[in-house]
Amino acid sequence: MNLKIIGILVRKDLIDAIKTPRLLLIVIVPVIIFVATTIFFDDQLTFRVAIFTPTPSQLTSALAGAEVVRLTVFDSAEAVRQAVNTEKASLGIILPDKFDQALQTSQFPQVTFLLADDGKTNQAALSLVQQLIRFLSPTAQSFSASVEVMQPNSEEGISLRGNLKPSQFTVIIWLTMSLVGNGLMLVPTLIIEERERKTLDALLLSPASYSEVALSKALVGLTYSLLGGLVMLFIQNGLTGDVAFLLVILVAGSLALNLLGLLVGGLAKNIHTLNSFGSLLIFPLTLPAMLGLLGPNPYIQYLQFLPTYHLVQGIAYAMNGQGDKILFNVFVLSLECAVIFGAVVWSLKQRELA
């Protein structure tokens, strides 16, 4: 391949992008998504607390009135354990019978606290409840506390989310949707516009080979994807964990999606056909991210052939600080890039034969 020719073709498309609203759109979309998530998905700190008390207690009323607490009252201690086990509550409280009376009469009542894990958020919730009990009965003697850290019930299936919180994984969902939209709807227009302007035939008859044309378009698309992706990660505080590995998987995944978009653009005859093809592919490609938010899932294993499966898993690994685990994901994405690149070159050759 002639790198000089590839560089000329890339520069041409980037200059075209600057002259059109395309580059501005790539930067603006992540900002719009950030504003929307801030307005509609406010990530305010909330403690999910489950409580069981055999007799009425003022602690229940106090917790129900706290703005940072989302309280659920259960009718048995076992129900509270189940809620913490299934992560419906991050903190469980089991009070003894006649807790308030025992507290006031210095009987050192036994309170059982159940933590879903020993993270800082749950420790803060535990400290809040303990301080609240002391505040409700400042003249009373202390109580006896039993703290148990529980392991959530393991579910069958693959978990793409790993140890990320749902709010953290939401960043990956928006990022995946942005990369898929860029690859399947924006990048194919690099081919469609050349065809509609009658410059694609001239380009294919130039000294540039099919491979050089395909690679130059893919690199332009990669520039779009990295620009939009990095803007989104930056404004949503997603540049965490192993950032270097995060960039590697971002490049590999974006390149695979852009090549897939070029293949669609090569097969589509016009912008209307492109919209039809792109719309059909967007849903299955974003499905790994959507299912990943739900945690372990027995069905997600059937999506491992999709490039977005390995993109989502690799990003989650990197953000979890487990960047060394992305090597297999990068390997699979590299193979998919090679296969799709060959298909893109084939589609360009077919146009000449036609």
- 102-156 pLDDT, tens digit each: 887 777 788 999 998 776 677 888 888 888 887 876 655 567 888 888 765 445 5
My answer on whether 63 and 115 are in the same domain is yes
The 8-class DSSP code of residue 149 comes to E
Confidence of residue 30 (pLDDT cuts 50, 70, 90): low
Total length of the chain: 354
Tally of domains in the chain: 2
- Only one residue has tokens 């003697």, namely 141
What are the two backbone dihedrals, phi and then psi, of residue 336, each rounded to the nearest 5 degrees?
Answer: -65, -35
My answer on whether 223 and 183 are in the same domain is yes
> Domain boundary residue among 94, 124, 149?
149
pTM of the model as a whole: 0.66
Residue 346 has pLDDT above 60, yes or no: yes
Comparing 222 with 202, the larger pLDDT belongs to 222
> Domain boundary residue among 122, 149, 176?
149
My answer on whether 217 and 317 are in the same domain is yes
CB distance 136 to 58 below 8 Å: yes
232 burial (CB, 10 Å; 0-12 / 13-18 / 19+) is: buried
Element (H, E) at 78: helix 77-85
Residue-range definition of the domain harbouring residue 266: 3-41+158-353
Residue 148: closest CA among 111, 108, 178: 111
Residue 164: closest CA among 321, 4, 350, 352: 321
My answer on whether 143 and 180 are in the same domain is no
Residue 166 has pLDDT above 80, yes or no: no
Residue 69: closest CA among 84, 86, 53, 51: 51
Mean pLDDT of 41-61: 82
Residues 6+ away with beta carbon under 8 Å from 278 = 184, 185, 188, 261, 264
My answer on whether 340 and 305 are in the same domain is yes
Tally Cβ neighbours within 10 Å of residue 280: 11
Write the CATH number for 98: 3.40.1710.10
My answer on whether 211 and 343 are in the same domain is yes
My answer on whether 36 and 51 are in the same domain is no
Average pLDDT of the chain, as a whole number: 82
